[in-house]
Structure 1
């Protein structure tokens, strides 16, 4: 038993060195992208914003079928027509992911009409952009139901079949605010932090499930109507991401089977600073960058 433990202690650091070196090589040398031609993709919040761009990106990369979920039929219909014109089979279903029974019923309808979903993209989200004391209780519950619990319901609806097929991928379009919160969006930051923990636990739980994996995407502020009006102090130094960029990098992360993606790469520095700096220093960073007051001009869609 002693020799077994000693052997493990010797092998473990060697494994760490190998995995770090492998990751470093992967950053330099181009990796082979996964073929998506046999995949059926479902995107929640797929009618507009990043969801619409994701549908376009998946279509351009040759997926077999795309399914869009959302709460606004007009947007869903417009995006569906656009994807069909690109030559990809596309369907839409009106579904509120915050409603558990509606998710399960709509998932059943999807399986009957479209077939098995092999890539699930949890993108649907809402933000109310208010402080805790200014927030309506129902609005707070809505954020948690859609942004967090909705991922529980959609994953429970589609993951079992992925495990049976030994072919599946769960994607979460999260936010860097899950790791570094700001004032004025307490509902959003809390829900995204919960969703991040959900995905972290899920990703580890899938390690022994062949053919099924997960990707969590943490983008910086993206220029969609959702966060319209949000302002940082130095917009030229910290420009908002384009939805097209987020969509492209997300699909690439799926094709590379990448578990975690921070956008842009400079967000990695933020996470490191948050881990080593004292709270007072972090507060000064928020004041200097303008994130402390960035939601004061918020006019986004709720």
Structure 2
């Protein structure tokens, strides 16, 4: 005979699921309360340019106490840091390649000593090689995996324990819709982003019982930055590239509302749903129609 407690769980389960659906619907319709950032110290990897630069500006605009920039190019970091400082927000930068484990740990120690505890970590740094697997050299493939995937493990190990001690923190991953729906010509990028998505999904579930520490994963469509320069979609008016400032605004808002996953634009949800329902041959026809199979042929972006 079924245990009474187990029976109660079985009966309550569909009610809990319905409640979650209703709660999510209300979140879409009713303005959410946004948390204050005045006590937060934000560290952004890849913060010197592209989406990272706009993220730094948006966090400063929304009242973050301090902003810290990590990146590989000092000139870009310095320029962005100066721009943020002119707004009145305290800003620091450190040259750090997140693809280098020892460098991450060393610079994390320097940040704690010179600036203080990081309470919002934004893993934004990424690279894309943009060649077929056969034409990619091993060093380039390893570089992509180190920066896009392993770099997040290392930054997390460097900063998450202190957030858990403080019961205050937020971890952000700027991922890509390609983590859920891959394209040819970017195998290294798609693979590393899929791995990063699984990492964040697991981490988000693992932190459910850790009060005060939350996660946000952002999955944007093609964004108009240097990194994907030259990428061409077949119908640019139907599928225009996202502006990096929009991605930054939506990301910071997701942090302030404790939103776990953000897909940009919302129409990309349809792609994910179709991928779950349609047979492979139908998905191939969709990709051919949209130009996904050839969009990287003209790629000449920055790595």
Q: Structure 2 length normalisation: TM-score?
A: 0.99
> By how many angstroms is 1:255 displaced?
0.5
> By how many angstroms is 1:3 displaced?
1.2
Counterpart mapping for 1:91-240 below 5 A: 91-240=92-241
> By how many angstroms is 1:279 displaced?
0.2
Give 2:67's aligned residue. Answer: 66
Give 1:32's aligned residue. Answer: 33
Alignment size in residue pairs? 302
> By how many angstroms is 1:67 displaced?
0.3
Inter-partner Cα distance in structure 1 for 2:176 and 2:66: 27
> Residue 296 of structure 1: SS of its match in structure 2?
coil
Give 2:290's aligned residue. Answer: 289
Give 2:43's aligned residue. Answer: 42
Inter-partner Cα distance in structure 1 for 2:67 and 2:54: 12
CA RMSD of aligned residues (A): 0.5
> Residue 294 of structure 1: SS of its match in structure 2?
coil
Deviations 1:26-82 (CA, angstroms, capped at 9, x unpaired): 101101111001100000000000000000000000100000000000000000000
> Residue 236 of structure 1: SS of its match in structure 2?
coil
Q: Which runs of 5+ in 1 are unaligned?
A: none
Query: 4+ residue stretches of structure 1 with deviation over 3 A?
Result: none
Inter-partner Cα distance in structure 1 for 2:88 and 2:11: 54
Inter-partner Cα distance in structure 1 for 2:264 and 2:82: 30
> Residue 135 of structure 2: SS of its match in structure 1?
coil
Inter-partner Cα distance in structure 2 for 1:120 and 1:224: 22
